[in-house]
């Protein structure tokens, strides 16, 4: 839901409506805090929900315990994602990078200290995680509110409580779009948990998804870059610059993905020993490595195109595309291959890769066939609808 700011702040910055960025940031905080409160029951009743879905008792108990630790993490996402998108819209990325590097160092040290040296287990790992998420938040908030963004942060404003509906609508469509993508991978784990020898299958799949997640961080960087450049250029009124930025980000991300595809295709299960000492799990990872390689290749393009969609404000359209490709095509094929054809986790993953491939092709077609000059006009109409007409009115209402 926070990705609504990528559209709002990006286009506002491109249109030089700098005073509105801080107002949108505060409106997003209000919307996300209310949303987080509404999501709390999912964390409290995780065990019951997973049992109802047929998961094993041991897995559900541990998951329910971990979910309670994740509540502070969920609330940390509010300042984390919103401040990142607020800063990225202005191309102030260096502060985010410095804070991320500091956090990673602290997180690695605390993880080793609490889980390896003192063996606190899950509580130690979760305390380290909570601190790792909140430390950069403090740094980002201080940077935003204490002079790092003088043009775009004018202080807390009463305007934050006005005209919330456009922000709510865009936040909901953004949330639906991205949740449908993120849930797609969790459905893969959920379906695998009901297979025979589920523990080994989930261990192997978790390792693959972890590796895939590492590579995904690169693609998410290009997603953010595509979103910022497209939204800035549309706000500025330059269709040619928007198209050029799309071509550059997609080709660069795909080139990196192709190199990683070849590496993981040939390395296979050797990387599994970073995560486990079990030869059975490593063998299962080796068996899944070709699928992991193809996932990495697809993930080098699909997230970038999603970033283009966010920058242009197409979240609702992409949400429908995700429903059709992922949930009407990918998951049903995965269930048939995994359960009916007895291909187990490989079958489930192949089906879901088919869904991702179709979604990627559809996004390529949509992006290619878009009249970007008309999109500039559409974006300017949105700007006129979203933004306060009189900048002085905004500044006059700063609290």
Residue spans of the domains in the chain: they are 4-92+149-396
| Angle formed at CA 287 by CA 283 and CA 291, multiple of 5 degrees | 140
Residue 157, SS3? strand
Give me the residue label for tokens 């430390």. Answer: 135
Do residues 22 and 154 touch, judged by C-beta distance below 8 A?
A: yes
For residues 255 and 251, what is the distance between their CA atoms, to the nearest angstrom? Answer: 6
Closest CA to 356 of 303, 285, 288, 286: 303
Each residue's pLDDT tens digit, 49-74: 999 988 888 889 999 999 999 999 99
Write the Ramachandran bin of 268: left for phi over 0, alpha for psi from -120 to 50, otherwise beta: left
Burial class (CB in 10 A: 0-12, 13-18, 19+), 206: middle
Residue 150 — φ and ψ, nearest 5°? -65, -35
Q: What is the pLDDT of residues 124-176, one digit of tens each?
A: 999 999 998 998 899 999 999 998 999 999 999 888 998 888 889 989 998 88
The residue-averaged pLDDT of 21-40 equals 95
Of 81, 303, 94, 322, nearest in space to 213 by CA: 303
Residue 398 has pLDDT above 50, yes or no: no
pLDDT in tens, 301-334: 988 998 899 888 888 888 899 899 999 999 999 9
Kindly report the length of the chain.
399
**Closest by Cα among 370, 223, 247 to 299:** 223
DSSP type of residue 18: T
Max alpha carbon distance in the chain (Å)?
67
CA distance 208 to 263: 14
Contact criterion met (CB below 8 Å) for 6 and 228: yes
pLDDT band for position 395 (50/70/90)?
very low
Which tokens go with 237? 């009124």
- pLDDT, tens only, 232-260: 888 888 888 989 999 999 999 999 999 98
Mean pLDDT of the chain: 87
């Amino acid at each position: 839901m926070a990705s609504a700011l990528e559209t709002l702040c990006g286009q506002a910055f491109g249109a030089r409506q700098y005073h509105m960025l801080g107002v949108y940031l505060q409106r997003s905080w209000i919307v996300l805090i209310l949303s987080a409160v509404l999501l709390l029951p999912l964390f409290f009743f995780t065990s019951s929900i997973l049992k109802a879905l047929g998961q094993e008792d041991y897995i559900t108990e541990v998951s329910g315990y971990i979910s309670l630790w994740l509540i502070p993490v969920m609330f940390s996402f509010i300042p984390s994602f919103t401040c990142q998108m607020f800063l990225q819209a202005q191309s102030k990325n260096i502060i985010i990078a410095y804070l991320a590097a500091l956090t990673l160092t602290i997180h690695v040290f605390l993880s080793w200290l609490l889980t390896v040296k003192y063996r606190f287990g899950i509580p130690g790992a979760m305390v380290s995680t909570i601190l790792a998420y909140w430390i950069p938040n403090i740094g980002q908030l201080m940077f935003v509110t204490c002079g790092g963004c003088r043009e775009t942060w004018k202080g807390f404003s009463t305007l934050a409580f006005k005209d919330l509906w456009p922000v709510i609508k865009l936040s909901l469509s953004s949330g639906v779009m991205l949740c449908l993508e993120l849930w797609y991978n969790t459905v893969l784990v959920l379906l695998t948990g009901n297979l025979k020898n589920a523990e080994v299958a989930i261990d192997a799949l978790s390792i693959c998804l972890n590796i895939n997640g590492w590579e995904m961080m690169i693609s998410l960087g290009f997603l953010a870059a595509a979103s910022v450049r497209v939204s800035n250029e549309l706000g500025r009124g330059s269709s040619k610059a928007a198209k050029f930025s799309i071509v550059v980000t997609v080709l660069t991300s795909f080139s990196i993905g192709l190199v990683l595809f070849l590496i993981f295709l040939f390395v296979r299960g050797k990387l599994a020993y970073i995560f486990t000492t079990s030869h059975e799990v490593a063998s299962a990872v080796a068996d899944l490595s070709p699928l992991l390689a193809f996932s990495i290749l697809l993930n080098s393009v699909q997230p970038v195109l999603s970033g283009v969609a966010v920058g242009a404000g197409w979240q609702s359209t992409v949400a429908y595309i995700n429903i059709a490709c992922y949930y009407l095509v990918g998951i049903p094929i995965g269930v048939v291959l995994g359960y009916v054809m007895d291909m187990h986790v490989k079958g489930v993953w192949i089906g879901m890769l088919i869904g991702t491939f179709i979604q990627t092709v559809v996004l390529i077609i949509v992006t290619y066939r878009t009249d970007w000059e008309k999109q500039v006009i559409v974006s300017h109409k949105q700007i006129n609808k979203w933004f306060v007409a009189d900048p002085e009115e905004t500044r006059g209402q700063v609290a």
